[in-house]
Amino acid sequence: MNTETVETPENPVVVERDGHVAVVVLNRPEAINAINAAMKIALPQVLQALDDDPDVRVVVMAGAGPRGFCAGADIKGFTEPETSLRARKRLLQAGFTSALDRFSKPTIAALHGHCLGGGMEIALACDLRVAAQDTLLALPEINLGLMPGAGGTQRLPRLVGLGRALELMLLGDRIGAEEALRIGIVNRVVATSADVRAEAVALAQRIAQKPPAAAAAVKEATRVGSTLDLATGMRLEKDLFALLLATEDKLEAATAFKEKRAPRFTGR
């Protein structure tokens, strides 16, 4: 893999390339990749650059170090009092998880160890999640007199249903990878944390072999459609389907099928 470092004082985010797959690594292992101000700034910048790069087709989100994907917000950064109005404005402007919502290409979270609070919210904002057996997931904000503030209350119910999501958020309990798989938070579980990034990258490579425009359309139709009424969602699906009919990759798929060879998709 080729590695690129984002130019920030702490280098809290590192990008590694593997063909058409980019691995975005949360890079504060000494703090279990806790989210600080520098990471909140760097992550949306990184994602925007990767979204604009036509050579990148899939992104994997991972955490550096053996202790976990991300332990959530860096509480050491809570050093100054803040008015409610100022806090609300800051939170509305914060885009470190919303950047994943805006990202047009498929995203996969590779989880291990601690995946808590804001870390779990980053994982929930990805399209797919692969977890190691040692992964512990929780939205424990209620134990601090708070609530999830980076999308947890909105994304978790869409994955597991209202009752299950409320139980997890009202109790703040941690659950393991197998339970997360059973209730639908994660898509796959692998044996060890040493395997999880490789499994996520292998899954990403498979998706990267598909026509990029079709993959982006599937993501848009599904994600946006889930917020719409059925009739409007069906209209969106038809609009995107019609756009794909005019792509070169659609013609290449048909030609490759006739010629009994593997297709060569270009993203056009």
Among residues 29, 126, 21, 105, the alpha carbon closest in space to that of 68 is found at: 29
Q: What gap in Å lies between CA 240 and CA 255, rounded to an integer?
A: 22
Looking at this protein, which amino acid is placed at residue 36?
N
Q: What gap in Å lies between CA 35 and CA 72, rounded to an integer?
A: 6
Q: What gap in Å lies between CA 20 and CA 54, rounded to an integer?
A: 9
Query: CB–CB of 130/190 below 8 Å?
Result: yes
Q: What gap in Å lies between CA 100 and CA 123, rounded to an integer?
A: 10
Q: What gap in Å lies between CA 135 and CA 175, rounded to an integer?
A: 8
> What single-letter DSSP state applies at residue 227?
T
Residue in the block written with tokens 């946006």: 224
Which residues are within 8 A (CB) of 127 and not within 5 positions of it... i.e. 6 or more apart? 106, 107, 108, 219, 223
Active site residues: 121, 141
